[in-house]
């Protein structure tokens, strides 16, 4: 049994301080003298990537956070968490850097796809389920980003300015619920400032609230490069600076202790949390770090496919076009820029190298009889940057990928080693050859690319570092002498520069890139290059002609990990490229049309009145195509609900006037009224409301009631409703309960989601659904009393299928006022 008190007594000050920063990108420091082991962490929310950012072992890729939010199903989310925890162990890691539980304050947030919802209760409930699942496997989850980190604009420096009540009721609430219900092993602070104080050194949020009021006993770490002060972070309660090697601790923190700026007792507190994590993770008993593996498990495939299908939201279904009956179709046109691509995840630190992917075209092919003709047209182009060449490159030796020659220092003089990478989007801050100084090296990349078409090809190059690109010995792109901004690598590095080059189909060209490490301290060395083959100027016309010949059209549109990514918010809610034009044109050509949208956020739909059926399918992980096909052809009855409001226009959204901010500050002027709470109080129309989602079944709600007319502050009350499936198809329905405080001393939203349950209702049968409310469902935060309050008086429970589709309500009374902190 490890005695942490004895360890702390034996450690020198310098050794204790060494524990408070990472040893490298993904590991805590070990102290061999006392057999103190290292703990390994890994991204991320939708896959356990392991210790290399881009080119490590493959991993299972699960549905993104917003898709899990759309399931409205804690049981499914807990299964996903358990599978992720299981896969994490194959990467010899003990801590998963997930879940992301910030809120959808604006529909163009770059990382909204990672987050569950605009609603704090839905977010907290699903985050708790995810954490329980991960930690059931003996590893630990990390709730992030703490806190008020809701857009990517100026994300390293912006100050999110808001009042205490809004902070508590919205942006801290999911973390508080997760701590109360699931106790995550770790919490990660965010990059931004909170009311002018960096989140990583914010004593109010970390020390007073998280550690003090909530009595959180786990480890608090910084986001990567998100810690900025020596004494401030230690005194505020930040245990671990990541990544390593340290930038702000080490000798600087030792000096701060000796100068009296930080007490040794504080150092002991911080070191204790690192040691406790190692103990709880079992690393003292098993310190060995085994080689990473990419294990493709059938049970993971099934969970991913199920969760993906359950997250799909049927937004519209006029004339019951869906489900499609393959036995009555001779030809299906599968059109769109996302149809033959497997768009399975958003961009940034959530990305993984998948075991495999299934595109919508492949999923449909798997679902229909062989005699059904499937035909495809691209329709339009949506690339933001030139398309990466993964799977289309060969080395001179015939290996798949690109050959790297590493050199010590600059100038390509002292050759060090050679290795092969599979991707043309390459991160060079981890996975470097042993002996290469990650802060001072150069590299030459060489690969062969064989085009499929003859014509002028666009080639693009971006880098975090200096770079030049040559084709067949000719310099084509100079990204060395100067660089365009903003960068595309988490908003650092350079933008993409492009050039054109004439290529012949079937004739290989040699691509060579010279690269040198940037001296900027925050730039993580990276290279991205790609090619767009000569584009078809008649792509929409060709798609329309195909649509005219088909019995049904599945039009797969949307965004991807270039448009929705960490480091950058979207500029608008519009679909990329000419997708709106494509949809309108195809809708005129064939009325038996299903639009399948893949995005992590709401989009504009100027064509909505012309399209009979719409599926919102998010980013569904490696089984995306199969999950989509399961719903298209009725193998799965859609049961997803919108976890975020789809507004008509970006100008209608609550944060529009206050986004993105000025002079380093963003004012949360909408206060409590984000998402549906804003549209509800304003009685403003939306495209699709929060909680909306159709089914192939029809559900009737009757007899909304409570089990008692009153409850005490520490008691509970049960809201019940009878739900009848009036169709001939078994289906699942999400019953939602919104609470309204009829007389409150402070202003409150008209309705707040406070309970929900997904239930299976067989065709023709009735199921009674019971939903329990307690003080947490009735309370608000009183910023004068500095406490949560559930006030004595009358409340209403509104029961419905969405926030605007309320099927019944019932009144009850809280007999006494209750107050609490945790």
**Distance from C-alpha of 64 to C-alpha of 67, rounded to nearest angstrom:** 5
**Distance from C-alpha of 81 to C-alpha of 133, rounded to nearest angstrom:** 4
Three-state SS for 518-561 is CCCCCCCCEEEEEEECCCCCCHHHHHHHHHHCCCEEEEEEECCC
**Distance from C-alpha of 421 to C-alpha of 383, rounded to nearest angstrom:** 23
Residues 161 and 665: beta-carbon distance below 8 Å: yes
Residue 152 sits at φ, ψ, to 5 deg, of -100, -5
Dihedral sign for Cα atoms in the order 808, 814, 819, 822: negative
Residue 449 sits at φ, ψ, to 5 deg, of -125, 130
User: What is the enclosing helix (H) or strand (E) of 737?
Assistant: strand 731-741
What letter would DSSP give residue 363?
Answer: H
**Distance from C-alpha of 144 to C-alpha of 147, rounded to nearest angstrom:** 8
Q: Angle 82-94-84 (CA atoms, 0-180°, nearest 5)? A: 25
**Helical spans, DSSP H, in 601-672:** 624-632
**Distance from C-alpha of 371 to C-alpha of 373, rounded to nearest angstrom:** 6
- Report residue 342 as tokens: 């497997």
- Report residue 753 as tokens: 């989601």
Largest Cα separation within the chain, whole Å, is: 82
Strand order in the sheet with 793-800: 710-711, 806-814, 793-800, 731-741, 752-761
CA distances (Å), origin 752, targets 3, 489, 675, 706, 777 = 47, 38, 11, 18, 9
Nearest to 222 by CA among 18, 20, 488: 20
- Chain position carrying tokens 């991160």: 427
**Distance from C-alpha of 78 to C-alpha of 75, rounded to nearest angstrom:** 5
**Distance from C-alpha of 519 to C-alpha of 407, rounded to nearest angstrom:** 16
**Distance from C-alpha of 796 to C-alpha of 328, rounded to nearest angstrom:** 49
**Distance from C-alpha of 57 to C-alpha of 52, rounded to nearest angstrom:** 8
> In 3-state terms, the chain is what percent helix, strand and coil (to 5)?
25, 30, 50
Nearest to 100 by CA among 133, 64, 75, 70: 64
CA distances (Å), origin 68, targets 177, 348, 419, 696 = 17, 18, 38, 21
Dihedral sign for Cα atoms in the order 690, 696, 697, 700: positive
**Distance from C-alpha of 616 to C-alpha of 597, rounded to nearest angstrom:** 5
Q: Which of 43, 55, 223, 491 is flagged as catalytic?
A: 223
**Distance from C-alpha of 210 to C-alpha of 264, rounded to nearest angstrom:** 22
Whether 223 is catalytic:
yes
Q: List, by residue number, the catalytic residues.
A: 223
């Amino acid at each position: 049994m490890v005695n942490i008190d004895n360890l702390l007594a034996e450690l020198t000050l310098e050794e204790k301080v060494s524990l408070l920063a990472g040893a490298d990108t993904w590991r805590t420091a070990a102290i061999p003298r006392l057999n103190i082991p290292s703990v390994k962490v890994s991204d991320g929310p939708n896959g356990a990537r392991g210790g290399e950012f881009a080119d490590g072992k493959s991993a299972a890729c699960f549905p993104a956070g917003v898709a899990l939010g759309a399931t409205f199903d804690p049981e499914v989310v807990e299964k996903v968490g358990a599978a992720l925890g299981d896969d994490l162990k194959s990467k010899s890691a003990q801590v998963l850097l997930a879940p992301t539980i910030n809120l959808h304050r604006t529909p163009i947030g770059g990382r909204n796809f990672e987050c569950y919802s605009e609603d704090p209760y839905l977010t907290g409930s699903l985050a708790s389920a995810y954490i329980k699942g991960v930690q059931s496997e003996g590893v630990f989850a990390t709730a992030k980003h703490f806190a008020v980190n809701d857009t990517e604009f100026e994300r390293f420096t912006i100050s999110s300015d808001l009042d205490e009540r809004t902070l508590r009721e919205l942006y801290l609430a999911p973390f508080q619920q997760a701590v109360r219900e699931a106790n995550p092993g770790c919490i990660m602070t965010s990059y931004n400032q909170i009311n002018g104080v960096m989140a990583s050194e914010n004593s109010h949020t970390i020390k007073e609230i998280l550690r003090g009021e909530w009595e959180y006993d786990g480890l608090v770490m910084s986001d990567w490069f998100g810690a900025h002060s020596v004494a401030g972070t230690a005194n505020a309660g930040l245990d671990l600076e990541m990544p390593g090697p340290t930038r702000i601790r080490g000798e600087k923190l030792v000096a701060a202790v000796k100068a009296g700026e930080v007490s040794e007792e504080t150092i002991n507190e911080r070191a204790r949390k690192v040691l406790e994590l190692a103990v709880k993770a079992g690393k003292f008993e098993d310190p060995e770090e085994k080689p990473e593996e990419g294990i493709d498990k059938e049970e993971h495939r099934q969970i991913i496919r199920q969760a993906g299908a359950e997250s799909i939201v049927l937004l519209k279904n006029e004339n019951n076009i869906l489900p499609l009956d393959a036995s009555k179709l001779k030809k299906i046109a599968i059109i769109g820029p996302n149809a033959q691509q497997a768009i399975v995840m958003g961009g940034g630190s959530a990305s993984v190298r998948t075991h495999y992917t299934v595109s919508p075209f492949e999923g449909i092919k798997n679902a229909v009889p062989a005699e059904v003709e499937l035909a495809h047209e691209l329709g339009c182009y949506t690339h933001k940057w030139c398309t990466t060449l993964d799977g289309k490159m060969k080395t001179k030796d015939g290996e798949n990928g690109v050959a790297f020659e590493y050199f010590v220092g600059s100038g390509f003089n002292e050759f060090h080693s050679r290795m092969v990478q599979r991707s043309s989007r390459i991160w060079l801050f981890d996975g470097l050859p042993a002996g290469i100084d990650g802060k001072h090296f150069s590299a030459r990349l060489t690969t062969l690319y064989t085009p499929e078409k003859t014509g002028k090809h666009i080639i693009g190059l971006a880098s975090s570092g200096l770079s030049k690109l040559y084709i067949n010995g000719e310099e084509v792109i100079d990204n060395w002498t100067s660089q365009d901004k903003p960068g595309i690598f988490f908003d650092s590095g350079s933008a993409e520069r492009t050039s054109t080059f004439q290529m012949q189909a079937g004739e290989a060209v040699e691509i060579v890139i010279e690269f040198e490490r940037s001296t900027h301290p925050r730039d993580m060395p990276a290279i991205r290059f790609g090619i767009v083959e000569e584009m078809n100027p008649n792509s929409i016309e060709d798609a329309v002609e195909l649509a005219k010949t088909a019995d049904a059209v599945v039009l797969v549109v949307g965004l991807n990990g270039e448009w929705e990514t960490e480091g950058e918010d979207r500029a608008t809610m519009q679909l990329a490229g000419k997708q709106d034009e494509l949809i309108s044109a195809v809708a005129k050509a064939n009325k038996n049309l299903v639009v399948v949208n893949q995005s992590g956020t709401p989009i504009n739909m100027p064509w909505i009145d012309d399209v009979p059926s719409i599926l919102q399918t998010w980013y569904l992980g490696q089984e995306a195509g199969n999950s989509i096909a399961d719903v298209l052809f009725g193998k799965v009855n859609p049961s997803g609900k919108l976890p975020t409001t789809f507004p008509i226009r970006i100008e209608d959204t609550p944060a529009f006037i206050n986004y993105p901010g000025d002079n380093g500050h963003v004012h949360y002027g909408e206060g409590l009224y984000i998402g549906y709470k804003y549209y509800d109080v304003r009685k403003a129309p939306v495209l699709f409301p929060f909680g909306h989602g159709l089914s192939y079944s029809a559900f009737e709600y009757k007899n909304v009631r409570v089990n008692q007319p009153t409850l005490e502050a520490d008691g509970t009350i049960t809201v019940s409703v009878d739900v009848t499936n009036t169709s001939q198809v078994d289906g699942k329905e999400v019953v939602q309960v919104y609470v309204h405080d009829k007389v409150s001393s402070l202003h409150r939203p008209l309705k707040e989601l406070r309970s929900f349950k997904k239930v299976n209702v067989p065709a023709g049968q009735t199921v009674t659904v019971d939903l329990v409310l307690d003080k947490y469902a009735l309370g608000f935060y009183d910023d004068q009393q500095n406490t949560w309050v559930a006030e004595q008086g009358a409340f209403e429970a509104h029961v419905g299928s969405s926030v605007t589709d309320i099927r019944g309500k019932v009144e009850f009374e809280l007999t006494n006022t209750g107050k609490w902190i945790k």
